Amino acid sequence: MKFALIGCGRIGSMHADNIAANPRATLVSVYDVFGERATGVAARHSCKIAGSVEEILSDDAVEAVLIASPTDTHADLLEAAAKAGKAVFCEKPIDLDLDRVNQCAAAIAACEVPIQIGFNRRFDPGHRAARQALEAGKIGELHQVIITSRDPEIPPRAYLETAGGLFRDMTIHDFDLARFMLGEEPEEVFAIAAPLGDPELGAALDEIDTAMIILRTASGKMCHINNSRSAVYGYDQRVELLGDSGMVISGNRRPHEARLYTATQAETAQPYFRFFIERYREAYIAELEAFIDAVEQGVPCEVGFEDGRRALMLAEAAYRSLQSGAMVKVEEAGP
């Protein structure tokens, strides 16, 4: 499958490497508004540098477009690529504004191209094995989901200013993971949050860095999400499923398995992987595989546009709960 990549920053560059390393995929062209970024990726993988997005979308050799540009360009690019008949893999979130997402949904409604949203965590081997254990009946009927999702540090102020807020930027992954694990839609959301990690920055930006959330589905299943941007011990990514006949926990991976024992400590491992590129390496590879599978087989992508939209609806509900201090219904206002 012939891919073009739009956006050659850190995550775009990683996707380029994964495409290049995949025997079923080829990277044919790349584009970035900052030309030098594209140059590096193109040189590394001997592919074309497109002069514009249009050049990519009008190139018949391009079968699939991977969108890894800044968030505020996602919806436009996704629309354009879908209308150009390309299969689309778009990084999360679709947009920070639910109205814009709904418009986008309407705009592409007639397009029959496969669309996948970059909710990589569904493809993490550990998280996936947890879900499979549930599906295989190994823990019985699901009662509770607990998601721990913590970043190792607060991002730079410039990033935070355009990131759309903790729930739309970071928790959006956890909302998707919650839906994936719960197997039914959360109907209600409760949230508390505060800038505990950096109160000053929080006050300046009206931003939060620490949160606790509870979701409830129609059948009464419960999900807790806790977020922090102060996990100095590394990117902390855990999912726990409690069922009536068992539990499964997908835990953190360590860079290696050496452990130290001295007169004052035992079993000391090194800190967890620092961040997502390392921690979710296998997940990024697997989501690409799944995308290629879906496109080749002509079936819907496992995690599509509607999943991106619903995760954002949960983020919106969480913000409303912060305001009201109460559990709120997820609003079903659709596209």
- Binding to a second copy (CB under 8 A): which residues in 58-97? none
Query: Which 3 state secondary structure label does DSSP give 237?
Result: strand
Cβ of residue 220: shortest distance to a second copy, in angstroms? 4
* Position 263 contacts a second copy (CB under 8 A): yes
Residue from the set 17, 187, 289, 302 that interacts with a second copy by CB under 8 A? 17
- How many Cβ atoms are within 10 Å of 218's Cβ, its own excluded? 10
Three-state DSSP at 114 gives: coil
Residues 71, 159 contacting (CB under 8 angstroms): no
Residue of 102, 270, 277, 306 that binds a second copy (CB under 8 A) = 270
Of residues 218-247, those binding a second copy (CB under 8 A): 220-222, 224, 226, 228, 230-234, 236, 242-247
- Cis before 300? omega within 30: no
- Per CB under 8 A, the segment of 28-36, 60-68, 87-95, 325-333 that binds a second copy is 325-333
Q: Total number of residues binding a second copy (CB under 8 A)?
A: 78
Cα–Cα distances in angstroms (integers) from residue 216 to residues 148, 161, 249, in the given order: 17, 31, 20
Under rule CB under 8 A, which residues in 275-314 are in contact with a second copy? 282
Q: Does 323 bind a second copy (CB under 8 A)?
A: no
Q: Is residue 129 close enough to count as binding a second copy by CB under 8 A?
A: yes
CB 189 within 8 A of CB 213: yes
Interface positions, 148-207, toward a second copy (CB under 8 A): 148, 150, 190, 192, 194, 196-197
- Report d(CA 330, CA 335) in Å as an integer: 15
DSSP summary character for residue 270: P
Strands 246-250 and 236-243: antiparallel
Is position 261 an interface residue for a second copy (rule: CB under 8 A)?
yes
By beta-carbon proximity to a second copy, the closer residue of 261 and 332 is 261
